[in-house]
Structure 1
Amino acid sequence: MESKFFQFLGIVKKSGNLVEGYNKCEEHVVRNKVSLVILSGEASLNTQKKFTTKCKLNEIPLLKDYDSQRLSDVLGRESIKVLAVKDKNMANKLLELSKA
């Protein structure tokens, strides 16, 4: 089911509901403007701690340990480590697909 997760992640990007990159994601999380954060397994320990804490504080679900290369390939960018989903329905669908 992991491929369905990545397929849907591509749809989320095309819809304009995906925030990419550390700084933009951090800003959106602090403002509580996202419904889901996705971290790659290659994100630094400091980045993982920071987003784990901020997501917990703002009650935002967090998915961890996705392959950075796979995320980059799906999204057509290099070295993706942090993503955030703005739309609540799309975030819920990704959470559902991540458990399948």
Structure 2
Amino acid sequence: MTDKFLQFMGLTKRAGKLVEGYNICENIIKKNKLYFVIMSRDISKNTCKKFLNYSCSYNVPVIKTQYSKEQLGGAIGLKEINIIGISDNKMGKVLFELWKKNEKL
């Protein structure tokens, strides 16, 4: 894996600063303890809309990536995943910057 964004996501998981899945991310974002949300390109329109609304309500950056649910899952040791939350502000900022660099390529 040469993609720095996916590599750093794996590091974030190993550091224990990554939250996996719709329900857990939803609960933690409502507690103001989530700093960044990552969505796969395969996510449903309803789920995407819901988390974009959370982004506005709780002032949390939410991005829809170019990665499939299998690519995101593979980066963190799962078969697939659509929603990932980052519970550390510094790691969230690094991931956001890496994502912006990937989008420019």
TM-score by length of 1: 0.94
Residue in 2 that maps onto 1:16: 16
Question: What is the CA-CA distance between 1:84 and the residue it aligns to?
Answer: 0.3
Question: What is the CA-CA distance between 1:27 and the residue it aligns to?
Answer: 0.3
Task: After TM superposition, list the pairs within 5 Å mapping 1:1-12 onto structure 2.
Answer: 3-12=3-12
Q: Deviations over 1:9-35 (max 9, x none)?
A: 000000000000110000011111110
For 1:32 and 1:18, how far apart are their aligned partners in 2?
15
Q: Aligned with 1:38: secondary structure? A: strand
Decide which moves more: 56-65 or 6-15: 56-65
Q: How many pairs align?
A: 99
Higher relative contact order (CA 8 A, sep 6+): 1
Q: Deviations over 1:53-87 (max 9, x none)?
A: 01111000011033211101111112200000000
For 1:62 and 1:70, how far apart are their aligned partners in 2?
18
For 2:27 and 2:80, how far apart are their aligned partners in 1?
19
Residue in 2 that maps onto 1:78: 79
Q: Are 2:71 and 1:92 equivalent residues in the alignment?
A: no
Q: Is the 2:52–2:62 Cα contact (8 Å) retained in structure 1? A: yes
TM-score by length of 2: 0.90
Question: Where does structure 1 lack aligned partners over 5 or more consecutive residues?
Answer: none
Q: Is the 2:74–2:80 Cα contact (8 Å) retained in structure 1? A: no
CA RMSD of aligned residues (A): 1.1
Percentage of pairs with the same residue:
38
Question: What is the CA-CA distance between 1:98 and the residue it aligns to?
Answer: 0.7
Question: Where does structure 2 lack aligned partners over 5 or more consecutive residues?
Answer: none
Letter in 1 for 2:83: V
